[in-house]
Amino acid sequence: MSKKKVIVVGSGNAALCAGIAALEKGADVLMVEKAPEQEAGGNSRYTAGAMRFVYNGNEDLMPLLLNPNDEKLAHTEFGAYPKEKFQQDLLNFNGGMPLSMHQHILIDQSYDTLKWMGEHDIRFEPIYSRQSFEKDGKFIFWGGLTLEAKGEGVGLVEAEMEAFKRLGGEILFETAGEELMIEDGKIRGLICEGPKGKMEIQADAVILGSGGFEANAALREKYMGGNWGKSKVRGTPHNTGKGLEMALAAGGVFHGIEDGCHAVPMDLNMPNYGNLEIPYIERKHYRKICYFLGIMLNADGHRFVDEGENFRNYTYAQFGRAILNQPKQFAWQIFDKKVDSLLYSEYRFWDASFVEADTLEELVGKLEGVDKEQAMKSIQEYNAAVDQESGFDPTILDGKSTKGLRLNKTNWANTLDTPPYKAYPVTCGITFTYAGLKVDDKAAVLDEKDKPIEGLYACGEMVGGVFYYGYPGGSGLTSGAVFGRLAGYSAAESKTS
């Protein structure tokens, strides 16, 4: 039997897992990546490489670790992240909907997929600095997210690329997938635009791993609504939704919550796209998510969210959208000296945008683009409504709230009364889109009648219906790896007619 010829579109985590899996099953794999080599790897390279998966105790993690003999491990308690917990974490963001088939696949195949990555020399390290605390000489992990790829997102993509090439995979950079070649409802190949112009590449199957449409303002407006055209983009400029458009033209179906996305408050003056040239921690410095320690005012001078609704992990990915929905798509975050030392380090980064003053009146005078009179009124009303009886404690939901406002602040409501006062201008930065193509349990792209389009598969951000109104951190990469592996196996093993 002749070898299956598979084209993989994109070179992020999902595409690379698809390529490795297809090669493992004996296919010939050609990857086409739109970006030049130094910008390849998609949003996957912008990440911390943190991956969420089911595990039942320390022993499950040992086969995944770069250094399983590290002495520190004897003093580390990873706890467990059982299937039921992952299910609940996803359900919390489903807006009342039950878990989808795709979410079950993500959860059920998460651990096996991580182990499989380990077999291909992709190694992980405990996230001691951000996901554990030290107690009685032990490192105790919390939150179910315990491991990140060696070398974060950049290291993850490098290790996957090495595995892909070791198995015989080939890649063409600066080569964009433009149109699917389709005959009698079956995929026959892909038309690409490369450095030497257009070319037709024949194949038995095409796997789309070309990311979401978050970097395409026109598509954001089309699917998500007018204001989304104005959002900034936190990651790669190359995820412009071409894969989605190709698949829709071939009969695929758009699936998921149309405007579903991960979007967070970001420095108003951040560049329009992310920057890979700076280290990961610094790359995050445009993020501004300490609103829970103060208040946010819009251009009309009004507060518009309950800044203390919940711990920031549960609100930050939704508050980007809230800011986008305000007049002129910006807001000011306002703090006083009492909380200054609690603001995350990115608020002190050398190019953070902010204004400062010794009185509230002076500060309000410096809030560019804001109705000053209403802003002053909102601050005074807020200050007068703060419950002075309860104590402030940012480590718990302290219940220190405002009373009687049109929009109360539920926790951490401190009076703004101690100079100097600082205000930071913020806007919305989109991380990635949640809606995409409808696929079946083999990652095959489905048509309107829920019938697989022969030879067409999708993975990663391209798959709709994995996330709806939010997501537990670290699930994006896992989803890419799970559906990538599935797509690779399916494409290599499918029967061709």
Ligand X SMILES: Cc1cc2nc3c(=O)[nH]c(=O)nc-3n(C[C@H](O)[C@H](O)[C@H](O)COP(=O)(O)OP(=O)(O)OC[C@H]3O[C@@H](n4cnc5c(N)ncnc54)[C@H](O)[C@@H]3O)c2cc1C
The distance of closest approach from Cβ of residue 236 to ligand X in the complex, given in angstroms and rounded to an integer, is: 6
Determine the residue type at 151: G
Q: Is 23 exposed, middle or buried (0-12, 13-18, 19+ CB in 10 A)?
A: buried
Site membership for ligand X, residue 32 (CB under 6 A): yes
Site membership for ligand X, residue 326 (CB under 6 A): no
Nearer Cβ to ligand X, position 265 or 460? 460
Q: Which residue in 4, 123, 220, 234 binds ligand X (CB under 6 A)?
A: 234
Site membership for ligand X, residue 19 (CB under 6 A): no
Q: Which residue in 242, 409, 438, 485 binds ligand X (CB under 6 A)?
A: 242
The distance of closest approach from Cβ of residue 193 to ligand X in the complex, given in angstroms and rounded to an integer, is: 9
The distance of closest approach from Cβ of residue 293 to ligand X in the complex, given in angstroms and rounded to an integer, is: 23
**Placement of tokens 């402030």 in the chain:** 392
Site membership for ligand X, residue 243 (CB under 6 A): yes
Per DSSP bridges, beta strands 205-208 and 124-126 are unpaired
Site membership for ligand X, residue 113 (CB under 6 A): no
Whole-angstrom Cα distance, residue 29 to residue 8? 7
Site membership for ligand X, residue 93 (CB under 6 A): no
- What does the H/E/C string look like for 200-230? EEECCEEEECCCCCCCCHHHHHHHHCHHHHH
Query: Which positions from 471 through 490 interact with ligand X, judged by CB under 6 A?
Result: 474-477, 480
Q: Which residue in 7, 19, 22, 43 binds ligand X (CB under 6 A)?
A: 43
Site membership for ligand X, residue 10 (CB under 6 A): yes
**Placement of tokens 């071409």 in the chain:** 242
Q: Which residue in 5, 34, 102, 312 binds ligand X (CB under 6 A)?
A: 34
Tokens coding 253: 């179906």
Q: Which residue in 320, 460, 464, 488 binds ligand X (CB under 6 A)?
A: 460
For residues 408 and 385, the answer to whether their CB atoms sit within 8 Å is yes
Q: b/e string for 69-87 if b means 16 or more Cβ within 10 A?
A: eeeebeebebbebeeebbb
Size of the site for ligand X (CB under 6 A): 43
Whole-angstrom Cα distance, residue 465 to residue 258? 10
Q: Which residue in 53, 330, 432, 489 binds ligand X (CB under 6 A)?
A: 432
Q: Is the Cα dihedral 43, 44, 46, 51 positive or negative?
A: positive
Site membership for ligand X, residue 274 (CB under 6 A): yes
Nearer Cβ to ligand X, position 48 or 376? 48
Site membership for ligand X, residue 429 (CB under 6 A): no
Query: Which positions from 336 through 375 interact with ligand X, judged by CB under 6 A?
Result: none
Whole-angstrom Cα distance, residue 131 to residue 368? 37
Nearer Cβ to ligand X, position 142 or 359? 142
Site membership for ligand X, residue 238 (CB under 6 A): yes
The distance of closest approach from Cβ of residue 396 to ligand X in the complex, given in angstroms and rounded to an integer, is: 26
The residue ranges that bind ligand X (CB under 6 A) are 9-15, 32-35, 40-44, 46-48, 50-51, 176-177, 209-211, 234-236, 238-239, 242-243, 274, 431-432, 460-461, 474-477, 480
